[in-house]
């Protein structure tokens, strides 16, 4: 029998704060009660703050991030519409696949896995599109499969440099609430997220934020939509209700999670994620002397690190060993990088000592599998960084 907690270090679902769990330990409730809107309406407004949107609108669907993707497409586009995308990991691939299944005309730029959204290529494609046939530009802010973060402000600059009116659609599933997302400032039109990552909840909600420009696209968009219709949702949301049964328990959890994010301060949450991620990177690069899948610091993700194992090793064995022997869940390598990487998710409700568990467990599992990293080297490099890093919000909060 395994004792103790399963140390959950996959990049979502993440470990859930006790406060969020307790907030959901409630009786099921009447979603048409006269006072239900008093509870839900502030949630829409507060969720918007996490996306740093002032003029946008939040939609909360029962579902997951994938449903959010579908909602973004179906409410704004028509069959045959041209869209500009890039593929550099399993999640950017799946969004491309979805657009193709919706019958969109996808112009997809292939990028080496380990890099992210190709800004120059985007700008060139947009400048070349003088007739403005491209209706939407897609960008995966944080490619969870490879631990790569892309520059969304840069995508906005590319659009502006080309004076192109296309919508900017962003996958923020593993970044919103953990890595900076500035919808208003960066002119993001749809940003998609899910409940089980930065929002620290169980899976079960697609959480998206939509600009007025994207909302206006509904009148011309001819793709069919029912469950994910913004129009149906908006009508009922105006009074705090939903067109079908909402996930009331998860909304109770979301209320607690938003309260926690604002009590810590969104800027501090983002800074904490950077601080924890930087320690993990010290552990991997300086301690273990291994490489990250991300091809350079400009791509490093503050929510997930994909760690390349030596050529002769199989990362799947490390992941299995970590789980079976040490009760540690690491993220597996997906598709092209299966067997080549294991991933440490470092997002959500975490502190330094918690993240040190993942490094310690991975270190033991690697050595058990013949990857002879120096014992204690990853933990040592990370903890020395965490202990001495100046100006980090975790140290400030404790003093
Ligand atoms: C970047 C990214 N996009 C989309 C998804 C799909 O989200 P979900 O699994 O919640 O449907 C994920 C899931 O991990 C993801 O990491």
> Ligand 1 centroid to 174 CA: how many Å?
7
One domain for residues 243 and 307: no
Beta-strand ranges (E) seen in the chain are 7-9, 57-62, 82-87, 105-110, 134-140, 142-143, 148-149, 167-171, 190-194, 205-210, 291-292, 304-308, 328-330, 341-345
Same domain as 309, residue 238 = no
Note whether 177 and 283 are same-domain residues: no
- Probe ligand 1: pick from 65, 92, 97, max atoms within 8 Å of CB? 65
Tell me, what CATH number does 166's domain have?
A: 3.40.640.10
Strands 205-210 and 190-194: antiparallel
Q: Which atom of ligand 1 is nearest to the CA of 196?
A: 10
Q: Could you tell me the two tokens for 388?
A: 């001495």
Q: Are 300 and 111 in contact (CB under 8 A)?
A: no
Shared domain check, 215 and 81: yes
- Pick from 234, 263, 292: which residue ends a domain? 263
- Of 263, 279, 296, the last residue of a domain is 263
CATH number of the domain residue 355 falls in: 3.90.1150.10
Q: Are 156 and 187 in contact (CB under 8 A)?
A: yes
pLDDT at 183: 98
Quick one: 22 and 74 in the same domain? yes
**57 CA → ligand 1 middle, Å:** 21
Using DSSP's 3-state secondary structure scheme, residue 194 falls into: strand
DSSP 41-76: HHHHHHHHHHTT-SS-EEEEEES-HHHHHHHHHHTT
Q: What percentage of the chain exceeds 90 in pLDDT?
A: 97
Residue entry with tokens 């500009």: 84
**Are 218 and 318 in the same domain?**
no
Same domain, 362 and 373: yes
pLDDT of residue 18: 97
pLDDT in tens, 50-95: 999 999 999 999 999 999 999 999 999 999 999 999 999 999 999 9
Q: Is residue 1 assigned to a domain?
A: no
Number of domains the chain is built from: 2
| CA–CA separation, 111 and 241 (whole Å) | 42
User: What is the extent of the structural domain holding 251?
Assistant: 18-263
| Within-domain flag for 382 | yes
Measure the CA dihedral 244/245/249/251, to 10°.
10
Whether pLDDT at 269 is above 80: yes
Say if 120 falls within a structural domain.
yes
Q: Are residues 227 and 96 in the same domain?
A: yes
One domain for residues 139 and 273: no
Is residue 137 in a domain? yes
pLDDT at 392 over 90: no
Pocket of ligand 1 (CB under 6 A): 12, 64-66, 91, 140, 142, 144, 171, 173-174, 194
Q: Is the pLDDT of residue 398 over 80?
A: no
Distance 388 CA to ligand 1 centre (A): 34
pLDDT higher than threshold 90 for residue 397: no
* Phi (first) and psi of residue 135, to 5 degrees: -95, -25
Residues 198 and 60 in one domain: yes
Cα of 164 from ligand 1 centre, angstroms: 28
From the CA atom positions of the chain, what is the Rg in Å?
A: 21
Per residue in 298-356, pLDDT tens?
A: 999 999 999 999 999 999 999 999 999 999 999 999 999 999 999 999 999 999 999 99
Residue 1: what pLDDT?
Answer: 82
Beta-bridge mates of residue 248: none
Q: Tell me: do 218 and 332 sit in the same domain.
A: no
Say yes or no: 248 and 388 in one domain. no
In a domain, 11, yes or no: no
Taking CA atoms only, the protein residue closest to ligand 1 atom 12 is 173
Return mean pLDDT, the chain: 97
Q: Which of 263, 290, 319 is the last residue of a domain?
A: 263
CA of 39 to the centre of ligand 1 (A): 28
Tokens for 37? 């809107």
pLDDT tens, residue by residue, 163-191: 999 999 999 999 999 999 999 999 999 99
Q: Long-range contacts: 124-131, Cβ < 8 Å, 24+?
A: 125/84, 126/84, 126/158, 126/159, 126/161, 126/162, 126/164, 126/166, 127/161, 127/162, 127/164, 129/82, 129/162, 129/164
């Amino acid at each position: 029998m395994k004792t103790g907690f399963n140390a959950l270090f996959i990049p979502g679902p993440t470990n859930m704060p006790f406060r969020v769990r307790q907030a959901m330990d409630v009786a099921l409730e009447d979603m048409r009660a006269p006072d239900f809107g008093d509870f839900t309406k502030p949630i829409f407004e507060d969720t918007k703050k996490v996306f740093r949107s002032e003029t946008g609108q939040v939609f909360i669907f029962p579902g997951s991030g994938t449903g959010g993707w579908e909602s973004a497409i179906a409410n704004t586009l028509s069959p045959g519409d041209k869209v500009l995308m890039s593929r550099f990991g399993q999640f950017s691939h799946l969004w491309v696949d979805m657009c193709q299944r919706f019958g969109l005309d996808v112009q997809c730029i292939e990028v080496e896995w380990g890099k992210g959204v190709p800004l120059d290529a985007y700008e060139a494609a947009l400048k070349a599109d003088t007739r403005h046939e491209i209706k939407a530009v897609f960008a995966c802010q944080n490619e969870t499969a490879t631990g790569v973060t892309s520059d969304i402000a840069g995508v906005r600059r590319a659009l502006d440099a080309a004076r192109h009116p296309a919508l900017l659609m962003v996958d923020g599933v593993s970044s919103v609430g953990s890595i900076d997302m500035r919808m208003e400032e960066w002119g993001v039109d749809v940003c998609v997220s899910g409940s089980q990552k930065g929002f620290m909840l169980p899976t079960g909600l697609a959480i998206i934020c939509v600009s007025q420009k994207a909302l206006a696209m509904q009148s011309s968009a001819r793709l069919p939509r029912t469950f994910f219709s913004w129009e149906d949702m908006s009508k009922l949301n105006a009074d705090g209700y939903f067109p079908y049964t909402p996930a009331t328990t998860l909304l109770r959890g979301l209320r607690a999670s938003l309260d926690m994010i604002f009590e810590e301060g969104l800027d501090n949450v983002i800074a904490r994620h950077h601080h924890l991620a930087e320690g993990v990177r010290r552990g991997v690069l300086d301690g273990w002397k291994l490489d990250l899948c991300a091809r350079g610091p400009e791509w490093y993700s503050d929510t997930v690190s994909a760690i390349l194992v030596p050529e002769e090793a199989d990362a799947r064995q490390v992941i299995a060993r970590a789980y079976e022997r040490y009760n540690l869940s690491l993220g597996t390598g997906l598709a092209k990088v299966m067997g080549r990487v294991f991933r440490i998710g470092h997002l959500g409700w975490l502190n330094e000592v918690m993240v040190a568990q993942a490094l310690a467990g991975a270190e033991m599992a690697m050595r058990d599998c013949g990857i002879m990293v120096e014992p204690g080297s990853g933990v040592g490099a990370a903890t020395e960084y965490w202990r001495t890093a100046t100006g980090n919000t975790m140290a400030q909060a404790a003093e």
